[in-house]
Amino acid sequence: MIEVLSPAKINLFLHITGRRPDGYHTLQTVFQLLDWGDTMRFSPRAEPGVVLKHPMPGVAESNNLILRAAALLLESYGGSESGAVIDIEKRLPMGGGLGGGSSNAATTLIALNTLWNLGASVSELAEIGLRLGADVPVFVRGYSAWAEGLGEILTPLTLPPRWFVVAIPKAEVQTAEIFRHPGLTRNTKPITMSALFAGQVRNDLEPVVVEHYSAVRNALNWLSNSAPAMMTGSGACVFAGFDSEDTARTVALDAPQDLRTVVVRGINESPVLRI
């Protein structure tokens, strides 16, 4: 059996730099991996096929990124006799902007590649991952990274050690609706890494989300009282970074009663690299 943490990410900024003729948006961002996520277990199965031990409520099998990742891997590299049972202990919220589904898909590709001795390279797995979603390749490669293009052109980064308070509003943001919104900024000029470390960054999706989701707006307002706060991805989660765990925990303890928070540490390498 393989057991591994499928980590979350936050976007330290997210700029939309353009829109392609096919409708997809180009962007710049930094993916910061976290030491927090879902625990996944992969066990061999005598019968062919992949079984998810605990189906996810509200997610049809045809939309489940774990099962889709397994199916694509089998289609590309696996024999018809390959089988596995996958169990997942979910901690990451759906629609939170933490990359939970993408991370689960990437972890599935890496773990089943090992379990079934398929021999696919990391680059080959990342190509499969891109077919599942723009955020999947960064989790396959397993490093915090500067990202461009659709999010698949990656430059690994060694980010300074930081602790983060992640606030989880009671909202599930519909990503497709946000990207279609006429008020979304789609022409931010590309920046360099020096602008990131100078703090000259933002999340271009944030103004649209806070306009339509009061829970996200309220969480940002609360967290901004303690440190510069930003939404991750297309939301709903928001975060702020701190130099010490103690400071982060002190801030989290002051959260409104109806707002869930977690204190997590940024990491530069994913646990999946140890599979």
Cα gap 230→236, rounded to integer Å: 10
Check the annotation: does 67 bind a ligand. Answer: no
Q: Is residue 74 a known part of a binding site?
A: no
Of the candidates 9, 90, 246, 254, the residue annotated as catalytic is 9
Report the C-alpha gap between 8 and 144 in whole angstroms. 11
Does 234 carry a binding-site annotation? no
Q: How far, in Å, CA of 159 to CA of 30, rounded?
A: 10
Say how far apart CA 68 and CA 81 lie, in whole Å. Answer: 17
**Does 123 count as an annotated binding residue?**
no
Residue 260 CA to residue 257 CA, distance in Å, equals: 8
Cβ–Cβ under 8 Å, residues 40 and 6? yes
At 251, which helix (H) or strand (E)?
Answer: helix 245-253
Rounded distance, CA 32 to CA 266, Å?
7
Q: If residue 153 lies in a helix (H) or strand (E), which one and from where to where? A: strand 153-156
Residue with tokens 């602790």: 163
The Cα diameter of the chain in Å comes to 56
Among candidate residues 135, 189, 243, 258, the one labeled active-site is 135
Report whether 93 belongs to an annotated binding site: yes
Contact 229, 223 (CB under 8 A): yes
**94 annotated among ligand-binding-site residues:** yes
193 in a labelled binding site: no
Residue 254 bears catalytic tag = no
- Identify the bridge partners of residue 41 per DSSP, sorted by sequence position: 3, 87
Distance between CA atoms of residues 204 and 192, nearest Å: 16
231 is in an annotated binding site: no
Q: Which residues contact 150 (CB under 8 A, 6 or more apart)?
A: 24, 25, 26, 27, 130, 134
The question of whether 38 is a catalytic residue gets the answer: no
d(CA 80, CA 78): 7
The verdict on whether residue 196 carries a ligand-binding annotation is no
Q: Could you tell me which residues are annotated as the binding site?
A: 93-103
Give binding residues for ATP as ranges. Answer: 93-103
> Which residues participate in catalysis according to the annotation?
9, 135
